[in-house]
Amino acid sequence: MDKPILLAGAPFLELYGARGVSYYFPLGIGYLASYLEKHGRTVRIIAESEGTDVYDELAAAIQTGEHLFVGISAMTPAFPAAVRLAKIVRRHAPGTPVVLGGPHASAMGASILAEQDEFDFLCVGEGEITALELAGALAAQRTDFGDIRGLVWRDADGKVVANPPREFHAELDDFPLPARHLVDFDKFSLHSHVSLGQGRGATIVTGRGCPFGCIFCSAHLTSGRKPRFHSDDYVIGEIRLLRDRYGIRYLFLEDDTFTAVRERVRRLCRRITDEKLGVTLGCFSRVDVFDEELAGLLRDAGFRLVIFGIESGVPEVLEKIRKGISLDKARQAIDLCRSHGIKSFASFVVGFPFETRELIARTIDFGKGLDASVITFNPFVPFPGTPLFDPARHKPAAPDGWAKFLTTDEPPFDITPDTPARELKAMVDRAHVAYYLRPKRLLGILRDTRSLSDLAALGKSFLTMLRRSVL
């Protein structure tokens, strides 16, 4: 009998404290699991969810029998948790290979294996095919993995070997629907500021890859820059499955920019409209592709939330970060959402290395003046794998330091020339408090909150912002 594969998502929600976060099903390892299952492998998923302690679950699972390998997926702030999980495997099943994948592995590459002996392999980039080929090699008890693209490994002498990168797979439908059947899906949900009180929510991905070149974003590391899409039939089938099997009534599309290719948006929205799927939807867009036609298509298909990464209210900053948008387009996009009955979510990043306090204040003033339904000002964090990450300055001395790489908290170090990290976070908190204390915004939040737990989380989040806003 073939050994099973154990996949775990490194937990990270504890890093956010009382900020009203929710447990999302991890689509990344969900796709990995389904692709491995498609090719005959037995897989188990352990993911952070309501009432689940990932560390205890992994310790118990790893002792139930031998595993072909344990795969751990981690974003950058979750890397310390990934190290802790790997140590659990080492303690309870020292002969089991440990594989690290996800954004942090793709960004840092071979340096992780050079510094952390808890991991045996890294999957860099898109992981489905790499993981399947690694599973075949391990099952055959191979010791040379040089032919597996996208893999970082150690040879017999302990030397770290980084294989050539793997091309991003063109035919996304070759990857089956995420393996939600491997978890108790009732333990996952969306927070009310995303689901808008529309009922039980979930996330899907209809395409991968973002053609835009924002210099602070690392999404291209795991999904590429060239847009690739699931077929319309695949997307409609996934929506129906989530609606009929799991009772989902709200779906947020996690594509980096769902609206990047207009003709596909036209076709898919019309099909969703014609088939009367009865779900409410949300997505990411860009203000420079959002116009009257697109707003109407999204509204008719049931979209009630669009998130825009506007990033800055200063033209010079937008140019430096290669955002490629104008402030007029930002205003128009928010206005179009309002006129079509769609809630708008405007997201900004403040505290770039070349920003002054005055430029940060201009972005905050611009954002507050948009009158978007939801707004966030996120302190800039130089994530690895982006042009603004300087290893000599930004890489933590120890793995635990990566836990500070959160866009919702005080940055891990001073970045801007005249605004210390603590003061930058206080500016952001003051802006949020001032914006959401407006009666219109406050009533909107309360109207969209459908549970006491969400209300309690929002209250704690607001009190935290209020406390931190006073230096």
Segment 74-84, tens digit of pLDDT: 999 999 999 99
Q: What is the pLDDT of residues 214-234, one digit of tens each?
A: 999 998 899 999 999 999 999
Question: What is the percentage of the chain residues whose pLDDT exceeds 70?
Answer: 90
Nearest to 184 by CA among 327, 45, 360: 45
Banded pLDDT at 15 (limits 50, 70, 90): confident
Q: What is the pLDDT of residue 315?
A: 98
pLDDT greater than 70 at residue 194: no
pLDDT greater than 90 at residue 35: yes
pLDDT greater than 70 at residue 22: yes
Q: What is the pLDDT of residue 467?
A: 55
Across 315-336, average pLDDT: 97
Banded pLDDT at 471 (limits 50, 70, 90): low
Helices 262-274 and 292-301 pack at an angle, to 10 degrees, of: 30
Banded pLDDT at 41 (limits 50, 70, 90): very high
58-62, 85-89, 103-107, 188-192 — which is least confidently predicted?
Answer: 188-192
Rounded Cα distance, 129 and 142, in Å: 17
pLDDT greater than 80 at residue 444: no
The CA-atom distances, in angstroms, between 382 and each of 17, 47, 117, 238, 415 are 21, 27, 26, 35, 9
Q: What is the pLDDT of residues 361-420, one digit of tens each?
A: 999 999 999 989 999 999 999 999 999 999 999 999 999 999 999 998 899 999 998 999
Banded pLDDT at 459 (limits 50, 70, 90): low
Q: What is the pLDDT of residue 21?
A: 62
Spatial strand order in the sheet of 201-204: 201-204, 250-253, 280-285, 303-311, 343-350, 374-379
Banded pLDDT at 443 (limits 50, 70, 90): low
Q: What is the pLDDT of residue 18?
A: 46
Mean pLDDT, the chain, integer: 91
Which residues face 207 on adjacent strands?
229
Rounded Cα distance, 466 and 432, in Å: 9
pTM exceeds cut of 0.85: yes
Nearest to 200 by CA among 259, 150, 247: 247
Tokens representing 229 are 């899409």
Judge whether 198 and 187 are in contact, CB under 8 Å: no
Report the 3 state secondary structure along the chain.
CCCCEEEEECCCHHHHCCCCCCCCCCHHHHHHHHHHHHCCCCEEEECCCCCCCHHHHHHHHHCCCCCCEEEEECCHHHHHHHHHHHHHHHHHCCCCCEEEECHHHHHHCHHHHHHCCCCCEEECCCCHHHHHHHHHHHHCCCCCCCCCCCEEEECCCCCEEECCCCCCCCCHHHCCCCCHHHCCHHHCCCCHHHHCCCCCEEEECCEECCCCCCCCCCCHHHHCCCCEECCHHHHHHHHHHHHHHHCCCEEEECCCCCCCCHHHHHHHHHHHHHCCCCCEEEEEECHHHCCHHHHHHHHHHCEEEEEEEEECCCHHHHHHCCCCCCHHHHHHHHHHHHHCCCEEEEEEEECCCCCCHHHHHHHHHHHHHHCCCEEEEEECCCCCCCCCCCHHHHCCCCHHHHHHCCCCCCCCCCCCCCCCHHHHHHHHHHHHHHHHCCHHHHHHHHHHCCCHHHHHHHHHHHHHHHHHCCC
Banded pLDDT at 154 (limits 50, 70, 90): very high
Q: What is the pLDDT of residue 213?
A: 86
Across 58-87, average pLDDT: 97
Judge whether 305 and 203 are in contact, CB under 8 Å: no
**Higher pLDDT, residue 462 or 261:** 261
**Higher pLDDT, residue 239 or 50:** 239
Q: What is the pLDDT of residue 12?
A: 86
- Domains of the chain (ranges plus CATH)? 5-162 (3.40.50.2300), 190-468 (3.20.20.70)
Q: What is the pLDDT of residue 196?
A: 60
Which residues face 153 on adjacent strands?
121, 161
Rounded Cα distance, 206 and 230, in Å: 6
Q: Is the Cα torsion angle 365, 370, 376, 381 positive or negative in sign?
A: negative
Rounded Cα distance, 394 and 415, in Å: 10
Q: What is the pLDDT of residue 23?
A: 87
Tokens representing 277 are 């799927």
Q: What is the pLDDT of residue 200?
A: 82
Q: What is the pLDDT of residue 372?
A: 93
Q: What is the pLDDT of residues 112-152, one digit of tens each?
A: 999 999 999 999 999 999 999 999 999 999 999 999 999 99
